[in-house]
Structure 1
Amino acid sequence: MKAKLFEPYTVKNVTLKNRIVMSPMCMYSCMEEDGKLTDFHRTHYVSRAVGQAGLIMLEASAVLPEGRISPQDLGIWSDEHTEGLASLVAELKSYGAKTAIQIAHAGRKAVLEEEIFAPSAIPFDEKSKTPTEMTKEHIQNTVTAFKEGVWRAKEAGFDIIELHGAHGYLINQFLSPLTNQRTDEYGGSAENRRRFLKEVIEAVNTVWDGPLFVRVSANDYNENGLTPEDYAETAAWLKEMGVDLIDVSSGGVVPARINVYPGYQVPFADLIRNKANMATGAVGLITNGLQAEEILQSGRADLIFIAREFLRDPYFPRTAAAQLKTEIEAPVQYERGW
């Protein structure tokens, strides 16, 4: 019997050849600070497509210059970004991988010289810059920037879009009561704190009809913050909004001590999947095929997002297949070696 990790997975009109996703990881490698792809990015992503990942997800790409996490982040705020992205997408697809991009805005966690923005004027910690509280006009301009970023991603040929609502970045800042202390319609109740994300999804849906993922931080690790149970409710709401899969991470919205161990975030993916009846992706110290297969076979997630193990091993799918005693097709150029 073929391992479930290497079974195809279909979401809307897109079929992945296996359930292994290269998780988005910032590379901080745009040396010109213009948000454009470099030769490093091409080598980095294409090697994992050659390595037979089912889905390659590009790192957080900022919808506005002030939305970069760092000056070296990828951008998607300008039409000038589209050509480079389209060229990379075509090459990734030539090796059989499907393609995704994480659309992002860093909010108060942007480490930039220029002014930064957030739902409320609260710095991340005592060493961080205090952000400017967003006006309603700025909120609407940012919603439009998300829509335009997704439109550019569509023009570049990406198969899947992921909205970055995790790790303490802007969408996450609106969702969490720890970072959103607004008194208008964007703050207060859970419904109000979801309003920014709701407007982003509604705007994105006017230009995008393919698979839509949302990454969340399912635990604030703070007694006054959001819990996995809260995010199960949010996931059910996102499903009603037309979101196809929740990519389940955790932490990052405020400084916190996190007990990290292999698969430490998998229970959150499990809870959301089974309580909200929503497809999930599991991520977080998943490092081998046996571990990934157990997560899928036990019904705790639908896709496996591999992050740092892909930095160590660009051919992780081959390694996982060997661990699971499953044969996978090699790139034709590598057949005599694999």
Structure 2
Amino acid sequence: MSALFSPLTLRGLTLPNRIAISPMCQYSAEEGEATAWHMIHLGSLALSGAGLLCIEATAVEADGRITPGCLGLYNDATEAALRPVLAAIRKYSKISVTMQLAHAGRKASSHRPWEGGQQIPLSQGGWLAHAPSALPHKDGETPPQALDTAGLARIRSAFVEAAQRAARLGLDGIELHCAHGYLMHEFLSPISNRRTDAYGGTLENRMRFPLEIFDAVRAAFPAERPVGVRISGTDWVDGGWDLQQTIAFAKELKPRGADWIDVSSGGISPLQKIPVGPGYQVPLAQGVKEATGLTTIAVGLITDPQQAEDIVTSGKADLVALARGMLYDPHWPWHAAAQLGATVEAPPQYWRSAPHGVKGLFGDIVDGGR
């Protein structure tokens, strides 16, 4: 039996396989509201056969969007816009759907990637970003405003409200975004956090606000539904956040009820030097799993089914997550199941699509076509 296609239980949620679809920003929302693009995009991925679909980084307040096109969940309009998208997915797919709750921090107010991705000046419709310290992400950018006590309370409340909205929408789980140089990661990394109060300096202090946010989100979301965390396992910058600090953070999250750690890397500084290659972040996930016993997700240039199978079989991670590879091949799980001799979920409208000679891919089906 394929390990990749074995079930996994996270609280009250049981996944039929270990394939997750990573949250991928689409920059296609309007005032934070999901559009027809999200219906098409997420609807397609919902038919992929993956066990888990995570909706893109979703801002908990308008100022927490990376770009003007980023998805949000911070008012009644943004909540209502997601409802028909999720209803369509639920009607035609059994896939579990989660959402990544996020705040862009000092990387907010940026142009969409295909528009250059640089900071939008205030004079051109941008907005003032917020961060642990008044340090810009890049030289020459407008510095963010350092969060004061009221600002910290506002953001904490925004995460709680977004979690409550996610629960009302019927989402199966939440992933808290603590990676890629966004706000929670900015608190964790000594590169971006130069505070001298209880939220800066020592590792214990730098972890304090992300842990407070996790506790608040966990308390606001139904106990039977899982909450996980995405973390950058390393900044890839000397003197920055690294695997040992990631493990320390994961050890704090475990007794608080974290259901998984999704281990990515980088994003805090343009000075990063990332040794990109197939499975280059898998050792980070393996390090967290071996040190903590937490359920881990490996992500990053995992594109071959046998590669994914080996990661799970060897115990380096419990799940694998695909992002761009899934955009390129939205039926990657079908092809992986065919290669590994496994069975995968598919809508009956597609049952006759299996290649000639491939038996049992979609289980025991009845083909009554004429």
TM range (shorter): over 0.9
The residue type paired with residue 34 of structure 2 is L
Distance 2:26 2:313 in 1: 32
CA distance in 1 between counterparts of 2:198 and 2:159 reads 20
Mean Cα displacement is larger for which, 202-211 or 227-236? 202-211
How far 1:156 moved relative to its partner?
0.6
Q: CA deviation at 1:330?
A: 2.9
Question: C-alpha displacement at 1:97, in angstroms?
Answer: 0.2
Q: What corresponds to 1:83 in structure 2? A: 80
Amino acid aligned to 2:138: D
> Take 1:126 and 1:322, find their aligned partners in 2: how far apart are those partners?
49
Larger mean Cα displacement after TM superposition, 303-312 or 200-209: 200-209
Length-normalised TM-score, structure 1? 0.97
C-alpha separation in 1, matches of 2:18 and 2:86? 19
Render the CA deviation track for 1:10-65: whole Å, top value 9, x for unaligned.
100001121111100101112x3x11111111111111111212111000000111
Q: Which runs of 4+ in 1 moved over 3 A?
A: none
Q: Which structure's CA Rg is the greater one?
A: 2
Is 1:154 matched up with 2:167?
A: yes
CA contact (8 A) 1:86 1:155 kept: no
Cα distance 1:127–1:314, how it changes in 2: closer, same or farther (>3 A)?
Answer: farther
Q: Check whether the contact 1:236–1:277 (CA below 8 A) recurs between aligned residues.
A: no
Q: Quick one: which of 147, 152, 156 aligns to 1:134? A: 147
Structure 1 vs Structure 2 CA RMSD: 1.1
Is 1:74 the equivalent of 2:63?
A: no
Question: For 1:282, which of 298, 301, 307 is the aligned residue?
Answer: 298
Which residues of 2 match residues 181-330 of structure 1 at below 5 A? 181-208=194-221, 209=223, 210-255=225-270, 256-330=272-346
Counterpart of 2:63 in structure 1: which amino acid?
Answer: E
1:232 Cα deviation (Å)? 1.1
User: What's the counterpart of residue 3 of structure 1?
Assistant: 2
Deviations 1:236-283 (A, max 9, x none): 111011111000000001121211000000000000001111110000
Counterparts of 1:129 and 1:335, CA distance in 2:
54
Distance 2:218 2:22 in 1: 23
Q: Secondary structure at the residue paired with 2:230?
A: strand
Q: Is the 1:4–1:297 contact (alpha carbons within 8 Å) kept by the matching residues of 2?
A: yes
Secondary structure in 2 aligned to 1:138?
helix
Q: CA deviation at 1:186?
A: 0.7
Deviation at 1:107, TM superposition (A): 0.3
Shift of 1:329: 3.9
In structure 2, what is the Cα distance between the partners aligned to 1:64 and 1:328?
37
Q: Identity over the aligned pairs, expressed in percent?
A: 44
- How much has 1:230 moved relative to structure 2? 1.5
Q: Is the 8 A contact 2:27 2:69 kept in 1?
A: yes
- Please say if residues 92 and 98 of structure 1, whose CA atoms lie closer than 8 Å, have aligned partners that are also in contact: no
- In structure 1, stretches of 5+ residues that fail to align are none
**Cα separation, 1, equivalents of 2:2 and 2:86:** 28
- For structure 2, the 5+ residue unaligned runs are 111-119, 121-125, 355-370
AA paired with 1:242? G
